[in-house]
Amino acid sequence: MNNIQDYFIQIEKFIDEKAFKKAYDAAIFLADSNPNDAKVHRFLDKVNKRLSKEIKKEIDGKISQTKYLWDDREYKKLLKIYLDLNTIYPGYSNLEDKIEKLKELADRKSEQEVEKFIDFSFHTLKKMFKERDYTGVIRGCHEFFKFDRSNKKILKIYQKARYQYIKSKFPTGMLLIDKKFYDKALYYFEQLYHIAPDDRKIKKIILDLQNKLHLIDLSHKKSLIEKKYILINSILKEKKYDDAVRNLNNVLLIDNKHKKTRRLLANLNRKVLNIINDEIYNQLIQAHRILRAEYALNKNDIIQI
C-alpha cells in the first residue's frame, strides 16, 4: 500500500474484523515509516484508544477462561498463557505484575511437587525394602537419581538395599567357584559388580577369577600342543614332511607365538623345498636320458649313457 490513507482504511477494517494483531502490527509499521507525519500520529492516537479497549476486552476474555487453571493451581500453564498474551500485545496487556506473581507461584509449586515426589518415592522404596524386593529398590533409586543424587534418605535406603542384595547373591557365586565353574562365576560376579562398582571384595574376586581362567587357558593350550607334538615327532621319523608342516600349522592356530613351532616350520619348509627341487632335478635328468636313448635307437646307434 503506497497511500497513507489506504493504511488508515485497512487498519480500521482490521479492527472491525477483530483482527487486532494485524491492526496492531500495521499501526506499528505506519508509525515507524512516518515518524514526523502529524496526520499519521493523530490517526494512530485515535486507533490506539480503540485498540486498547478492544485488546483489553480480548485479553480479559481469555483470562476469564483460565479460572479452572487457577482453581487447579496450574501455575505453569497460566504463566504460558499470560506470557503469550504479553508477547502478542506488548504494552497493551499490563500483565507484567501478574506474570511475576505467576513465576513465583510456579517455582513454589515446583518445590512442593519435588518434596511430594521425594516423600512418595521414599515411602514406596521403604515398603519394597521391607518386602525384600532389593532389586526393585535399586531400580527405583536409579530412576530417582536421574533427578536428584544428593537426597540423603534415598541414598541411605539405596546403600542398604544394595548391601542386602549382594549379601543374598554371594553364596551362589561362591558355590560356582567351589564347583570350579569359573567362567559362570566370573559372569555372575561381573553382574554384581555393575550394581556395586565400588565393592573391593567383588572386584578382587573378579580379578582372581580372570587370573584362574587365564592359567586354565594356558594349561589347556599347553596340553593340546604336547599332544600335537607326539604326532608330529612320529610323522618326522617317517619323513612325511608335508604332513608334519600341516600339523605344525595347526599348532600355530592354538598358539600363534609358539617359538619352537615357528623355528621347526621354517626348517621343514626349507627341507621340503630342497626335496622338491631335488625331485624336479632328478626327473629332468631321467627325461634327458630317455630322450637321448630314443634318439640313439632311431639312428641305430646305441650310445652308452
CATH number for the region 222-298 comes to 1.25.40
| Domain extents in the chain | 222-298
Mean pLDDT over 76-99 rounds to 66
**Nearest Cα to 117, choosing from 140, 92, 93?**
140
Q: Which of 236, 272, 229 is CA-nearest to residue 252?
A: 229
Name the band, by pLDDT with cuts 50, 70 and 90, for residue 305: very low
What is the arithmetic mean of pLDDT over 13-32? 77
pLDDT in tens, 90-128: 655 566 666 666 666 666 665 665 566 666 677 788 888
* Confidence (pLDDT) at 210: 85
Reply yes or no on whether the pLDDT at 296 is more than 80.
Answer: no
Give the per-residue pLDDT at 303. Answer: 47
The whole-model pTM stands at 0.41
- Specify the pLDDT at position 299: 55
**Sequence-distant contacts of 149-152: CB under 8 A, at least 24 apart:** 151/118
pLDDT at 295 over 70: no
pLDDT tens track for 210-251:
888 887 777 878 888 888 888 888 887 887 777 777 777 877
Q: State the average pLDDT for the chain.
A: 74
Q: State the CB neighbour count (10 A cutoff) for residue 278.
A: 10
Instruction: Inform me whether the pLDDT recorded for 21 exceeds 50.
Output: yes
Q: How far is CA 15 from the centre of its chain?
A: 55
